[in-house]
Structure 1
Amino acid sequence: MSFCNNNSTIDRCPGNINGNPMNGLCEKVCIQTTKIFDACMMQTSIDQTVTLTNISPSTPTLPLTFVSGSSTSSTGTITALTITPIADRAGLSRVTATVSIPIQIAYTDANGVSGTGTSTVNITQDVVMCVPSGSVISPVVAATVNMASPRGTYVSDYTFNITCCVTVILSVQAPVNLLVPSYGYCKIPPCTEFSQDACQGVFDLPLFPS
């Protein structure tokens, strides 16, 4: 079994709460975690020119033909970050930043050989968010990202113009010690081994007819 397929037969496992949620609470515990103070999502389509590096296999025969593009990580890199409190909106700040998304482009060369190369897509964010201040541990702005490119055109050398379907989730977060109610330690169920035994269905039948 696992958490997802224990069918709620084990009380101290994650899953849906059946009955009174107060039943089983036994203590208040301090956990170390990342608290999200604010978050927002932007989804847009942009066109960008990207130049590939880390070409594999090396020295493909030009020209190249675009196949597809996608992000290689869900973590974006934030640069040029500025946080400016808004005077007439208490607790809110203007957050501007450049978010860089690591991507990989798949292509075929003039000989029909498939290859890949990496690059980055940059997108500017200018948003209003709640950014707490006045604490020893300062919150940071982080970016969770995704990019998919359904089409692109070859320019020259290792350069493409691509259409990017971009998702950026900005979050204001900080490591905190948080006090939460607890049901106690989680009980870990034993794993169920995957089996492709051809006889499994036969052996599951009753031995004698009924």
Structure 2
Amino acid sequence: MPATVDFLEERFDTMLARLNESYDGIGHSSGRPYLYFVYPPTKDQYIRRLADDRMHAGQSLHYIHIDLIRLTVESLAGQEERRTELLNEPVRGANAGISIVRLWARRLAQEITASLSQIEPTSRPVVVLRGVAALHPLGNPSSLMESVAENEPRNPHTERTVPIVLLVPGTHAPQASRTYYFLGLPQSRLSFYRGEEM
């Protein structure tokens, strides 16, 4: 089914309803409270606007937006030459890429923890990851979330895990559940790391 604007909006609203109505139950059946919202890369600006318009303060949920473009750039600032050198070495390049994704996961966990420390005790926080395309070509949403799961963020007031929404540019694999093509690239066929597909 082609991803029309109406269909994307309907799926987005279904995700918001799931967050509102089943907040405490998200992740119980899948093992992790991750919600993957896969959308066509050509609709990135539209999805960003939907997130801005519908996932903001003043609602029953407290949304914490984190832009992975900013996070990935800031975490490697000043190390550009060394990173390029490592990635260009055939033997060490693959390990360097994995190390960088783990660094991003640690920085993400730190940023989430810092944001959670500022919420009200009655808040129901939801982390929203945007700019997920910044992970390419070194990583992808599945590998990032696998690393994040090692130090899963928790609400400091309740000690419960916090739902994380990933806005993932990509396409769904035909006739395959829990599978997607990151950025719509055929060579980037991935399975969701636990969590739910929305």
Aligning the two structures, in what range does the TM-score lie when normalised by the shorter sequence?
under 0.3
TM-score (norm 1): 0.23
Q: Which has the higher strand share?
A: 1
Who wins on radius of gyration, i.e. which is larger? 1
Calculate the TM-score normalised by the size of structure 2.
Answer: 0.24
